[in-house]
């Protein structure tokens, strides 16, 4: 297969095709037209007179639109064709393709143009795990369309394919017999619609999954992107690449916007393209926090959508508890038949306290007390979850252990791979696990909850109680998690209350949460910017020297831009301005090399040895919280902090960035400009 | 068939009776919406009309207009109100259709019980067994 391309809609419909626009999927080959976590087209191959085509060029016009310039024939270097084919595709509730065939000869040509089409209706989980289907396939012709259908009991999905030009419709596709005049053109529009279908019936038109027309969606997309870019604050900087990075972030964030069925006019950040275009509690919250100074709409929608699906019952299959914030929502066949728990799945231990953190931070920036008031019940339930359901060991700490032992998640913190939490010697702790950052988030949630209780909910007694609990948690935490001989916080406590004693980037999240005693902060900051954790590009997930350290291990040595952005914020919280500027310097330099689009993670090799950041191989790009990282780093570098009705600007930027400015920052102060000049000499730490 | 008379414990009637019991529930605090459930086929179908007014719930058997009208077979409704069928899964599977406000239905599903047998607790797993398990699979 040629290089795969991806294009998408601001939703969960997307197409992955080769550079000719063709789709030739198998259960294990992830190309196709996907909508609501289902592959509606697994084959879409264009031929002219039985010949496949070759791409001369492929242009991504917008994040939802691509144009392919093609000529007949394959495998030759030398192209001298009398025909060109232009294929322009826009993704909507399926996709819309304009096909133009240009005859450059002085003679007319007779052409047999064929589009082969098939749908395997694989669930995304099946694509990932290569599982077999359980239902039946059929095809029919209805209302001039070829309809591909899949049915399993009452679950149906259909793909409707039609053309504007007269076509011969067969089970395996559409064909056109055409004559193109000399220097003339033939064209048709092809429409592919993803439909829910109806059980045991053959509807004569597509049944919209979202009940909205395709045309309206397409118009909205173009307008939506322009409006989105126009509304965002402007960034100016002596260091030119920053403007490019910022622009890339905004465009990628626009592409990652996702609307839920219950709030069609609003959007929240999905986790990543293309496989994670859905609500993730943790990812949506972190990304909303990162983007908050630039756009608060994502945060507001995230809060409302997560509150709407907040847990209310004990459900072991979904790892649901009352008050718990969801982990992941899916819409495919396996969720439908409860073969996977994502309807939604609740197995995470951080999104619930982080929900309260985001709510408070949102109010500090926007002053929108109305939303805080309307989410009072949800926030109280989230705070109650911390004490009543998350303290699995009865020791006053938040722990996690899955109750769905078949398809649930073993690790319910952001470092969710099997080996991410280990002792220095490489042994793995048992379950439940109380990882350190969860205690930080719980502390922060209580402190921020107290502020909201006093300010908005007018319940000072509740505020007093939360602050008392937070103070107690902080005192115990600084005693129980502090690794005395190493002067840092253990990554977790195990089931015996013993420290899981490896040195990790989680220490940075602890600074961000505020749970760290002042007297211990200096040592923590030294570790974060020391040679074991800091590579010159960024802070490694696990320190060099630990048994499981591997510079290209997913959570055991790679550098995560998202992680670093929150650590920079944390360093600023404790006044370590130069250290924060060094993180800004490292990640921004990496962002320049990645042309503005930071990957989910890159290798933890020392900067001095590789000179460039080594991308970690991953299927998802852009990833929402990597996209948000430069935004939060900009905030940390400029030292932006809301204080009542004002915005504090206290810059500490790398000297080589020169003057840096954000114009028209929105917030409770209406609009404000933030300016800073880079003065921190970061080269010594970053090794630039 | 219409619902069983009081005395026999029809799970659907029981569920709605408990839902509407005064002072029973804080699930819908501050919320307002109407949801009607139509169980069965065509003229035979039974109705439960749920009115939520600022968190207070009342249920009638009227076929009155509602923000969301939910249609499903009686056995599926029974499975749903007893926690044996998840509402979201039922929507995706095509076991129920919702006309009108999906938001109202999503709000309503908060009141549904979890699956029978969910304990909320599992036995701890030791470090030795986790390390050994991954040594085997690695």
State which residue of chain A sits closest to B31, comparing Cα positions.
A374
In a domain, B133, yes or no: no
Chosen from A121, A198, A201, A312 to mutate, greatest number of chain B CBs within 10 A: A312
Contact B94 A199 (CB under 8 A): yes
CATH H superfamily, domain A5-218: Glycoside hydrolase, family 65, N-terminal domain (2.70.98.40)
pLDDT > 90? residue A242: yes
Asked if A154 lies within 8 A of B95 by C-beta distance, the reply is yes
The torsion defined by the Cα of A328, A329, A333 and A336, in degrees rounded to 10, comes to: 110
- Range with lowest mean pLDDT among A160-169, A224-233, A278-287, B58-67: A224-233
Q: In this structure, what token pair is assigned to residue B43?
A: 């003229």
Asked whether residue B137 is domain-assigned, the answer is no
- All residues of chain A having their beta carbon less than 8 Å from the beta carbon of residue B103 are 262-263, 308
Instruction: Please tell me the predicted confidence (pLDDT) of residue B27.
Output: 79
pLDDT at position A228: 86
Answer whether residue A618 shows pLDDT above 60: yes
Which residues in chain B are contacts of A320 at CB distance < 8 A? Answer: 114
CB of B45 within 8 A of CB of B12? Answer: no
The domain in which residue B21 lies consists of 11-115
> Kind of pairing, strands A499-500 and A492-493?
antiparallel
Residue A80: pLDDT band (50, 70, 90) is low
Q: What is the pLDDT of residue A221?
A: 66
| Within-domain flag for B86 | yes
Instruction: Show the beta-strand stretches assigned E in A123-209.
Output: 136-142, 145-152, 155-163, 168-170, 173-180, 185-195
Q: Has residue A219 got a pLDDT over 80?
A: no
pLDDT at position A214: 43
Find chain A residues with C-beta within 8 A of B134's C-beta. Answer: 418-419, 428
B-interface mutation test, from A431, A457, A502, A556, most B Cβ less than 10 A away? A431
Bigger pLDDT: A273 or A347?
A347
Strand pairing report for A499-500 and A83-91: unpaired
Res A610: pLDDT: 84
Q: In whole numbers, what is the pLDDT of chain A averaged over residues?
A: 92
Which among A296, A297, A294, A273 is positioned nearest to A283, based on CA atoms? Answer: A273
**Confidence band for A62, pLDDT divided at 50, 70 and 90:** confident
Residues of chain B in Cβ contact (below 8 Å) with chain A: 27, 29-30, 83, 86, 88-89, 92-95, 102-103, 106-107, 110-115, 117-122, 124-131, 134
- pLDDT surpassing 60 at residue A521: yes
Q: What residues of A are in contact with residue B118 (Cβ under 8 Å)?
A: 313-317, 403
How far is CA A168 from its chain centroid?
A: 42
Shortest alpha-carbon distance between residue B109 and chain A (Å): 9
Give the start-end residues of each E strand in B6-131.
Answer: 33-39, 46-53, 56-60, 68-72, 96-100
- Cβ-defined contact of A335 to B131 (cutoff 8 Å): no
CATH of the domain at B64: 3.30.1050.10
**B20-35 pLDDT, tens per residue?**
887 655 678 889 999 9
How large a percentage of chain A has pLDDT more than 70?
Answer: 94
Name the average pLDDT for chain B.
88
Q: How far is B85 from chain A (nearest CA, A)?
A: 9
pLDDT at A597 exceeding the cut of 80:
yes
Which residue from A156, A263, A427 is facing B127, i.e. has the nearest CB? A427
pLDDT band, residue A40 (cuts 50/70/90): very high
In the predicted structure, residue A41 carries a pLDDT above the cut 80: yes
Task: Tell me which chain B residue has its CA closest to the CA of residue A423.
Answer: B127
Cβ(A469)–Cβ(A388) below 8 Å = no
pLDDT for res A210: 42
Closest-CA distance of chain B to residue A290, Å: 28
Cβ–Cβ below 8 Å for A495 and B128:
no
- Cβ contacts of residue A448 below 8 Å, gap of 6+? A356, A357, A359, A360, A361
Contact yes or no for A159/A94 (Cβ under 8 A): yes
Q: Once rounded to an integer, what is the mean pLDDT over residues B76-95?
A: 95
pLDDT in tens, A395-443: 999 999 999 999 999 999 999 999 999 999 999 999 999 999 999 999 9
Query: Looking at CA atoms only, how far is residue A618 from chain B in angstroms?
Result: 20
Are A676 and A649 a contacting pair, CB within 8 Å? Answer: yes
Name the burial class of residue A132, with classes exposed (0-12), middle (13-18) and buried (19+) by CB atoms within 10 angstroms of its CB: exposed
Note if the bond before A676 is cis, omega within 30 degrees.
Answer: no
C-beta atoms of B114 and A309 within 8 A: no
Average pLDDT over residues A601-617: 89
Distance from CA of A355 to the nearest CA of B (A): 19
Q: In chain B, what percentage of residues exceed pLDDT 90?
A: 72
Q: How confident is the model at residue B44 (pLDDT cuts 50, 70, 90)?
A: confident
- Please choose, from the candidates A451, A563, A445, the residue with its C-alpha nearest in 3D space to the C-alpha of residue A514: A445
Query: Which of B93, B111, B130 lies at the smallest CB-CB distance from A154?
Result: B93
With beta carbons under 8 A apart, name residues in chain B contacting A429: 127, 130
Judged against a pLDDT cut of 80, whether residue A6 lies above it is answered with no
For the residues A580-588, what does the mean pLDDT come to? 98
More confident of the two residues A128 and A569: A569
Judge contact between A563 and A589, C-beta under 8 A. no
Does the pLDDT of residue B118 top 90, yes or no?
Answer: yes
Asked whether the predicted pLDDT for residue A579 surpasses 90, the reply is: yes
Ramachandran category for residue A104: left, alpha or beta (phi over 0 → left; psi -120 to 50 → alpha): alpha
Inter-residue long-range contacts of A496-503, CB under 8 Å, 24+ positions, other chains counted? A497/A395, A500/A421, A500/A422, A500/A423, A500/A429, A500/A433, A501/A423, A501/A424, A502/A422, A502/A423, A502/A424, A502/A542, A502/A543, A502/A546, A502/A548, A503/A527, A503/A532, A503/A533, A503/A542, A503/A543, A503/A545, A503/A546
Which chain A residues have a beta carbon less than 8 Å from that of B114? 313-316, 320
β-strand pairing of B46-53 with B56-60: antiparallel
Residue in A315, A338, A418 closest to B118 by CB: A315
Least confident of A69-73, A276-280, A519-523, B41-45: B41-45
Determine whether the interchain pair B130/A337 forms a contact, defined as Cβ–Cβ distance below 8 Å.
no
Q: Where are the beta strands (DSSP E) in A415-509?
A: 434-435, 482-483, 488-489, 492-493, 499-500
> Shortest CB distance from B127 goes to which of A343, A418, A428?
A428
Q: How many domains does chain B have?
A: 1
**Could you report the per-residue pLDDT of A384-401, keeping only the tens digit for each?**
999 999 999 999 999 999
User: How far is residue A392 from each of residues A247, A336, A397, measured CA to CA in Å?
Assistant: 44, 30, 8
Q: What is the pTM of this model?
A: 0.94
pLDDT at B42: 66
pLDDT for residue A364 is more than 60: yes
Give the 3-state DSSP-derived string for A555-615, with helices as H, strands as E and coil as C: CCCCECHHHHHHHHHHHHHCCCHHHHHHHHHHHHHHHHHCCCCCCCCECCCCHHHHCCCCE
User: Is pLDDT above 80 for A274?
Assistant: no
Please judge whether A344 and B30 are an interchain contact, meaning their C-beta atoms are less than 8 angstroms apart: no
> What fold characterizes domain A232-686?
Glycosyltransferase (1.50.10)
pLDDT in tens, A651-662: 999 999 999 999
Å from A150 to nearest chain B CA?
A: 12
Query: What is the domain partition of chain A in residue ranges?
Result: 5-218, 232-686
pLDDT for residue B130 is more than 70: yes
Chain A interface disruption, residue of B82, B107, B124, B134, most A CBs within 10 A: B124
Q: B119 and A312 in contact by Cβ < 8 A?
A: no
- Higher-pLDDT residue of B41 and A212 is B41
Give me the pLDDT at residue A586, please. 98
Question: What per-residue confidence (pLDDT) applies to A81?
Answer: 81
In sequence order, the β-bridge partners of residue A91 are A95
Read off φ and ψ for residue A507, nearest 5 degrees: -55, -35
At residue B3, does pLDDT exceed 50? no
């Amino acid at each position: 297969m040629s290089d795969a391309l991806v294009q998408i809609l601001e939703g969960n419909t997307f197409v992955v095709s080769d550079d000719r626009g063709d789709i030739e999927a198998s259960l294990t080959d992830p190309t196709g037209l996907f909508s609501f976590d289902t592959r509606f087209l697994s084959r879409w191959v264009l031929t002219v007179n039985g010949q496949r085509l070759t791409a001369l060029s492929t242009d991504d016009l917008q994040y939802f639109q691509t144009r392919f310039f093609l000529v007949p024939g394959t495998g030759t270097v030398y192209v001298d064709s009398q025909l060109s084919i232009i294929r322009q595709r826009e993704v909507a509730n399926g996709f819309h393709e304009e096909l133009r065939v240009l005859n450059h000869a002085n003679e007319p040509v007779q052409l047999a143009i064929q589009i082969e089409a098939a749908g395997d209706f694989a669930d995304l989980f099946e694509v990932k795990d290569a599982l077999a289907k359980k239902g039946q396939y059929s095809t029919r012709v209805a209302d001039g369309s070829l309809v591909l259908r899949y049915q399993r009991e009452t679950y149906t999905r259909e793909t409707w394919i039609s053309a504007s030009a007269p076509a011969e419709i067969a089970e395996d596709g559409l064909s056109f017999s055409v004559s193109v005049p000399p220097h003339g053109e033939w064209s048709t529009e092809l429409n592919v619609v993803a439909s829910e279908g109806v059980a045991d019936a053959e509807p004569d038109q597509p049944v919209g999954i979202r009940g909205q027309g395709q045309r309206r969606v397409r118009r909205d997309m173009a307008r939506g992107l322009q409006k989105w870019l126009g509304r965002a604050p402007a960034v100016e900087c002596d260091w030119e690449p920053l403007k490019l990075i910022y622009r890339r972030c905004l465009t990628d964030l626009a592409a990652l916007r996702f609307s839920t069925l219950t709030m069609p006019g609003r959007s929240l950040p999905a986790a990543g393209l293309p496989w994670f275009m859905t609500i993730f509690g943790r990812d949506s919250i972190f990304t909303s926090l990162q983007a908050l100074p630039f756009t608060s709409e994502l945060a507001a929608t995230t809060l409302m959508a997560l509150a709407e699906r907040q847990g209310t019952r004990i459900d072991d299959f979904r790892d649901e508890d009352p008050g718990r914030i969801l982990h992941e929502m899916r819409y495919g066949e396996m969720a439908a038949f409860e073969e996977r728990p994502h309807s939604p799945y609740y197995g995470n231990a951080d999104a619930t306290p982080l929900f309260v953190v985001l709510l408070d931070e949102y109010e500090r920036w926007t002053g929108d007390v109305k939303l805080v008031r309307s989410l009072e019940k949800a926030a109280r339930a989230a705070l109650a979850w911390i004490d009543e359901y998350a303290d699995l060991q009865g020791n006053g700490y938040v722990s996690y252990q899955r109750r769905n032992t078949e398809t649930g998640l073993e690790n319910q913190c952001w470092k969710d791979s099997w080996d991410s939490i280990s002792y220095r010697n490489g042994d793995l702790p048992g379950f439940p696990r109380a990882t350190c950052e969860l205690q930080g988030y719980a502390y922060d949630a209580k402190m921020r909850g107290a502020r909201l209780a006093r300010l908005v909910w007018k319940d000072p007694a509740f505020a007093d109680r939360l602050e008392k609990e937070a103070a107690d948690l902080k005192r115990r935490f600084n005693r129980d998690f502090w690794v005395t001989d190493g002067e840092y916080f253990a990554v977790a406590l195990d089931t015996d209350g013993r420290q899981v004693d490896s040195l990790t980037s989680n220490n940075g999240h602890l600074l961000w949460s505020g749970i760290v005693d002042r007297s211990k902060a200096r040592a923590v900051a030294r570790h974060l910017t020391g040679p074991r954790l800091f590579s010159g590009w960024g802070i490694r997930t696990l320190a060099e020297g630990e048994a499981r350290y591997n510079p290209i291990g997913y959570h055991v040595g790679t550098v995560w831009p998202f992680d670093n952005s929150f650590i920079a914020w944390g360093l600023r919280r404790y006044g370590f301005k130069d250290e924060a500027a060094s993180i800004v310097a490292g990640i921004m330099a990496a962002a320049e090399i990645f042309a503005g689009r930071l990957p989910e993670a890159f290798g933890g090799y020392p900067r001095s040895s590789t000179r460039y950041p080594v991308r970690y191989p991953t299927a998802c790009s852009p990833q929402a919280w990597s996209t948000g990282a430069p935004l939060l780093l900009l905030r940390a570098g400029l030292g932006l902090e809301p204080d009542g009705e004002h915005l504090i600007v206290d810059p500490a930027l790398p000297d080589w960035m020169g003057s840096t400015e954000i114009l028209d920052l929105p917030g409770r102060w209406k609009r404000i400009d933030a300016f800073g000049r880079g003065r921190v000499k970061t080269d010594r730490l970053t090794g630039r | 068939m219409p619902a069983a008379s009081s005395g026999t414990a029809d799970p659907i009637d029981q569920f709605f009776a408990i839902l509407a019991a005064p002072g029973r529930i804080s699930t819908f605090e501050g919320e307002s919406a109407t949801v009607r459930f139509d169980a069965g086929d065509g003229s035979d179908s039974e109705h439960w009309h749920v009115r939520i007014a600022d968190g207070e719930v009342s249920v009638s058997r009227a076929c009155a207009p509602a923000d969301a009208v939910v249609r499903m077979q009686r056995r599926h409704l029974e499975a749903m109100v007893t926690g044996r069928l998840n509402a979201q899964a039922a929507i995706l599977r095509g076991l129920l259709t919702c006309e009108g406000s999906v938001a109202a239905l999503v709000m309503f599903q908060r009141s549904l019980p979890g699956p029978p047998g969910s304990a909320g607790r599992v036995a701890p797993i030791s470090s030795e067994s986790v390390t050994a398990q991954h040594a085997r699979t690695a």
